């Protein structure tokens, strides 16, 4: 679909956040009046998420709901959507409220205005210096991001960020194997 952003939302046991995420995505106005294709993939939730989604499915006729019969992971959920996406661009958006859907516009703007095939977001993290785990995690993320930046000759601030936007061409060309 021309001028469309396909938004894949992998879901697993997100009963406390899924309604908020769906409402935010529904209200989201996209850059340059892009249309939205929203695909919610439930990964065999056991906390009532799947039942909630089945209950609202008819109400959200412009959303596509996919219900997996077995828990196979976020990567598998993305692969399930490989042939369901119709947009010029595809993005994965988590259902745990870590990211604001409004940030999708920042990724889309970069892709359109700068003709980029792949855009990765970044998190502005504050380190809790009372917990060594967070210091170590931040050091590892920064080190991997630096190495990736060098390898691909691109400035990548947060390689671990889950907000990633792909052009349709890139999305169709990759064949991930992991679940």
Residue 159 has a pLDDT of: 67
Measure the CA angle with vertex 99, ends 169 and 72; round to 5°.
Answer: 65
Residue 127 has a pLDDT of: 52
CA-closest candidate to residue 83, choices 96, 58, 66, 97: 66
CA-closest candidate to residue 159, choices 133, 123, 127, 134: 123
Taking the C-alpha atoms of residue 161 and residue 150, their distance in angstroms, rounded to an integer, is 18
Residue 50 has a pLDDT of: 98
pTM above 0.75, yes or no: yes
* Interval 155-179: pLDDT, tens: 777 666 668 899 999 999 998 777 7
Contacts of 135 (CB under 8 A, 6+ apart): 127, 129
Distances (CA, A) of 178 to 14, 60, 120, 171: 22, 30, 19, 15
Q: Choose between 145 and 33: higher pLDDT.
A: 33
Residue 123 has a pLDDT of: 58
Q: What is the rounded average pLDDT of the residues 107-116?
A: 96
Distances (CA, A) of 22 to 43, 44, 179: 16, 18, 24
Q: In sequence order, which ranges of the chain are alpha helices (DSSP H)? A: 18-27, 49-56, 74-80, 103-113, 132-152, 168-173
* Interval 26-82: pLDDT, tens: 999 999 999 999 999 999 999 999 999 999 999 998 899 999 999 999 999 999 999
Neighbours of 145 (CB within 10 A): 19
How are strands ordered across the β-sheet holding 118-120? 63-67, 35-42, 4-11, 89-92, 164-167, 118-120
């Amino acid at each position: 679909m021309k001028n469309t952003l396909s938004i894949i939302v992998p879901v697993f046991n997100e009963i406390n956040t899924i309604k908020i995420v769906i409402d935010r995505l529904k209200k989201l106005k996209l850059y340059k009046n892009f249309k939205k294709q929203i695909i919610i993939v439930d990964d065999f939730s056991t906390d009532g998420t799947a039942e909630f989604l089945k209950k609202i499915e008819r109400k959200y006729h412009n959303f596509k709901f996919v219900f997996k019969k077995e828990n196979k992971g976020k990567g598998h959920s993305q692969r399930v959507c490989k042939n369901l996406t119709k947009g010029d661009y595809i993005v994965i958006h988590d259902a745990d409220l870590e990211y604001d859907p409004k940030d999708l516009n920042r990724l889309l703007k970069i892709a359109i205005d700068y003709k980029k095939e792949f855009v990765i977001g970044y998190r502005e993290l504050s380190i809790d210096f009372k917990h060594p785990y967070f210091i170590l995690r931040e050091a590892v993320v920064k080190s991997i991001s630096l190495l990736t930046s060098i390898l691909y000759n691109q400035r990548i601030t947060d390689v671990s960020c889950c907000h990633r936007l792909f052009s349709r061409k890139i999305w169709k060309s990759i064949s991930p194997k992991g679940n």
